[in-house]
Structure 1
Amino acid sequence: MEIMKFKKWEDNLYLFNYRRTYTEPVEYFHAHEGLELLYIHEGSGKYIIDDRVFSLQPGTLIVIKPFQVHYIRMIVPPIYIRSLLKIKVSFIEQFSALFPQFTSFLSQMLEQKMTVQVFHLSGKHSVQVDSQFLQLHEQIRLGPPNLRKEGVMLFFLNFFMFFQTQIYIPGENAAPAPWTLSRATKQINSILKWIDQHYKTSFTIPFMASELHFSPNYLSKLFKEQIGKTIMEYTNEKRLEEARMLLQLRSHSVEEICKETGFTYTSYFIQMFKKKYGLTPHRYRERLESQRDSLIE
């Protein structure tokens, strides 16, 4: 069994990868404390955030808020190539006095619901985003280590000036009207919304189907075709990611977290958690605490 790897933030402030290539399928629920920029150079798949499913393709930019749970499934082969920057809000706040307008925009974006977080960029904009990520990659690869933090911050400022003026423009990024969505997409979105409202309680597929006015067979088949896994597989992964976040953020006992995330039996919860992450919940929390202690020393 592969033990879960704890990724190390550079200077405990940011994570950056440029054009990382995957040759096997990528599929996971995830949430993290940093603000994330994910750009897809090559590949296709599905992305779920805020009870909505999106198609992914080359030139897709995704902006993910801190602690926002999201699900991604990339189809490989042929190939998946992405660039990624995660940056902690505490890092950004260090420069708030110098850039009040930027700080105001970013605060509003983080505190309020964004109308869109998945952007399919035009050729011109995708070239600009790719170029900005490449420039940061070269600065980090070739520049002196003591300038990396400043390089990341300058990239972040420049990127969000570009993002604010050319990509995320209020009034122009409204969510698509319901009638522009396909019938299957509208149905999947309603299913995802229902799961989000009920995953913390125990439910059955027949009960869910009756609530949504579908037959159980049609409901299960549609979900499997569109999302790539069964309803209960998806729901349990959502529960496990919620549990993982609670283990990081709260001092609740494992038994309390088990109940709060919709699992009926603690032993089953521990078994599922270890199967997915390679560690029991207790061991996962110990590893986190050990990491935090090493940062303080």
Structure 2
Amino acid sequence: MKRMFEAVVFGGAKLFWDYRHRNTGQYKGYYHWHQCCEMLFVHEGTGHVVVGGDTFPIRRGMLFFFRPYQLHHVYANVSPEQPYTRTIFHFDPQLADDLLGPFARRHGLFTALCQGRYRVQAFDLMGAEEAVERNFDDYDRSRQEGKGEETEEIGMLILRLLDTVIRCDHSGLSRSPGTLERKSTGYVQQAMRWIDGRSRRRHASIEILFIEAVP
């Protein structure tokens, strides 16, 4: 049995930002979940990601979306000659929902992803890598200038990233969102959401244990 809940501590911040984090040593990863949304972009590296019962390759230009309470596993083949470099950011889905409201198509994609009505959670953005890199560079510069917590800056970061997904992932976006995820996975997420809600109401910290099951 393993402890799989990995809390993201915002410390009063709106967005948890980890820019171009680089590993050159062993990185096996583990199954875990967060109480918030996570987006992961790969700058360099190889390996695989397991989420929603599917396995996706880690490679340059890949973007992954993990919704709240969703179990996922990231494994990277890492060595000094083959580093794993990624940008990760976490945020409350309600924040993004509020910011994206005026942008119907982008808001629709985010809502479908966040609610599990859109099966695709891995996007190959290699063809638009320059745009993604520029987006991240711009937001990181805003953080260095002390503006990273402004809702406009966060909104632009997420909006531009979703816009890139829409423009690049033609095969995935041509399908109508549906309830395609395996029911067993959905039940686990519902249970974790219920437990987390009770924990918040009681103002208590709890440790959640699950039996690891590899798809």
**Is the pair's TM-score, using the shorter chain for normalization, greater than 0.5?**
yes
Quote the residue 2:15 is aligned against: 14
Q: Is 1:116 aligned to 2:98, yes or no?
A: no
| Distance verdict in 2 for CA 1:164–1:7, change over 3 Å | same
Quote the residue 2:46 is aligned against: 44
Q: How does 1:1-297 map to 2 (within 5 A)?
A: 7-9=8-10, 11-26=12-27, 27-77=29-79, 78-95=82-99, 97-122=101-126, 124-141=127-144, 143-145=145-147, 148-167=150-169, 169-171=172-174, 248-251=196-199, 261=210
Where 2:117 maps in the other structure, the secondary structure is: coil
Question: What 5-or-longer segments of structure 1 have no aligned partner?
Answer: 175-192, 199-238, 264-297
TM-score w.r.t. structure 2 length? 0.71
Higher relative contact order by CA 8 Å / sep ≥ 6: 1 or 2?
2
Report deviation, 1:102.
3.4
Quote the Cα distance in structure 1 between the aligned partners of 2:176 and 2:148: 38
Quote the Cα distance in structure 2 between the aligned partners of 1:145 and 1:35: 21
Report deviation, 1:45.
0.9
Deviations 1:132-191, CA, capped at 9 Å, x for gaps? 1111111111x23476442112211222122223336523799xxxxxxxxxxxxxxxxx
Quote the residue 1:292 is aligned against: none
Quote the Cα distance in structure 2 between the aligned partners of 1:36 and 1:65: 6
Over alpha carbons, which structure has the higher Rg?
1
Report deviation, 1:5.
8.8
Quote the Cα distance in structure 1 between the aligned partners of 2:62 and 2:176: 14
TM-score w.r.t. structure 1 length? 0.54
Kindly provide the amino acid, as one letter, of the partner of residue 66 in structure 1: P
Where 1:128 maps in the other structure, the secondary structure is: helix
Deviations 1:21-71, CA, capped at 9 Å, x for gaps? 112222122211222210111111121111122221122111111221100
Report deviation, 1:16.
1.0
Question: What 5-or-longer segments of structure 2 have no aligned partner?
Answer: 203-207
Answer whether contact 1:41 1:83 (CA < 8 A) is retained: yes
Where 1:28 maps in the other structure, the secondary structure is: coil
**What RMSD in Å do the two structures reach over aligned CA positions?**
3.9
Answer whether contact 2:123 2:165 (CA < 8 A) is retained: no
| Distance verdict in 2 for CA 1:63–1:76, change over 3 Å | same
Between the two proteins, the alignment pairs up a number of residues equal to 194
Where 1:29 maps in the other structure, the secondary structure is: coil
Deviations 1:219-255, CA, capped at 9 Å, x for gaps? xxxxxxxxxxxxxxxxxxxx9xx99887644459xxx
Quote the residue 2:205 is aligned against: none
| Distance verdict in 2 for CA 1:85–1:65, change over 3 Å | same
Quote the residue 1:267 is aligned against: none
Percent identity between matched residues is 18
Report deviation, 1:6.
5.7
Answer whether contact 2:139 2:148 (CA < 8 A) is retained: no
